[in-house]
Homo-oligomer: A and B are copies of this chain.
Amino acid sequence: MKIGVLKETNDRRVSLTPASIPKLSTQGFEIFVEQDAGSDAGFADARYEEAGAKVMDRTSLFNQASIISSIHPLSSAELAKLQAGTNLIALFEPFNDPEISESLKKQELIGYSMDMIPRTTLAQSMDVLSSMASIAGYQAVLLGAFQLPRYLPMMITAAGSIRPATVLVLGAGVAGLQAIATAKRLGASVEAFDVRQAAKEEVQSLGAKFIEVEGAKDDSDAGGYAVEQSEDFLKRQRAKVQERAAKADIIITTALVRGRKSPILLPASTVEQMKPGSVVVDLAASGGGNCELTQNGKTIQAHGVTIIGNSNLATEMPEVASTLFSNNLVNYLKLFVQEGQWAPDPENEIIKASRIA
Binding site for B on A (CB under 8 A): 41-42, 44, 124-125, 127-128, 130-131, 134-135, 138-139, 142-143, 145-146, 148-151, 153, 155, 157-160, 162, 182, 185-187, 276-277, 304, 316-321, 323-325, 327-328, 331
Q: Pick the residue among B41, B131, B304 that contacts A42 (CB under 8 A).
A: B304
Q: Would you call B320 and A151 a contact (CB within 8 A)?
A: yes
Q: With A124-B158, A151-B317, A162-B323 given, can you name 19 additional A-B contacts, CB distance below 8 Å?
A: A42-B149, A42-B304, A44-B276, A125-B158, A127-B159, A130-B159, A131-B159, A134-B157, A142-B146, A146-B316, A149-B316, A149-B321, A150-B319, A157-B324, A159-B323, A162-B320, A182-B186, A185-B186, A186-B186
Name which residue of chain B comes closest to A43, CB basis.
B276
Q: Pick the residue among B42, B159, B187 that contacts A277 (CB under 8 A).
A: B42
- In the assembled complex, the CB of A42 is this many whole angstroms from the nearest CB of chain B, namely 4
The list of the 4 closest CB pairs from A to B, nearest first, reads A149-B319, A159-B324, A124-B158, A42-B277
Name which residue of chain B comes closest to A142, CB basis.
B146
Residues of B within 8 A of A151 (CB): 135, 138, 317, 320
| A153, B328: Cα distance in complex, Å | 20
Residues of B within 8 A of A124 (CB): 158
Name which residue of chain B comes closest to A124, CB basis.
B158
| A11, B19: Cα distance in complex, Å | 45
Interface of A is mostly: helix
Of A125, A128, A325, chain B has the most CB atoms within 10 Å of the CB of A125
| A320, B161: Cα distance in complex, Å | 10
Residues of B within 8 A of A153 (CB): 185
Q: Would you call A139 and B146 a contact (CB within 8 A)?
A: yes
Name which residue of chain B comes closest to A178, CB basis.
B155
| A13, B246: Cα distance in complex, Å | 24
Q: Would you call B327 and A160 a contact (CB within 8 A)?
A: yes
Some 28 contacts from A to B, beta carbons below 8 A apart, are A41-B149, A42-B149, A42-B276, A125-B158, A127-B158, A130-B158, A130-B159, A131-B157, A131-B159, A134-B155, A135-B151, A142-B142, A142-B145, A142-B146, A146-B146, A148-B317, A149-B318, A149-B319, A149-B320, A149-B321, A150-B317, A151-B320, A153-B185, A157-B324, A158-B328, A159-B324, A159-B328, A185-B187
Residues of B within 8 A of A331 (CB): 159
Residues of B within 8 A of A131 (CB): 157-159
- In the assembled complex, the CB of A150 is this many whole angstroms from the nearest CB of chain B, namely 5
Residues of B within 8 A of A325 (CB): 159
A327 touching B159 in the complex, CB below 8 Å, given contacts A185-B186, A186-B185: yes
- In the assembled complex, the CB of A165 is this many whole angstroms from the nearest CB of chain B, namely 10
| A332, B138: Cα distance in complex, Å | 40
Residues of B within 8 A of A138 (CB): 151
Name which residue of chain B comes closest to A275, CB basis.
B42
Residues of B within 8 A of A160 (CB): 323-324, 327
| A146, B321: Cα distance in complex, Å | 13
Residues of B within 8 A of A150 (CB): 317, 319-320
- In the assembled complex, the CB of A223 is this many whole angstroms from the nearest CB of chain B, namely 17
| A225, B151: Cα distance in complex, Å | 26
- In the assembled complex, the CB of A130 is this many whole angstroms from the nearest CB of chain B, namely 7
| A139, B44: Cα distance in complex, Å | 31
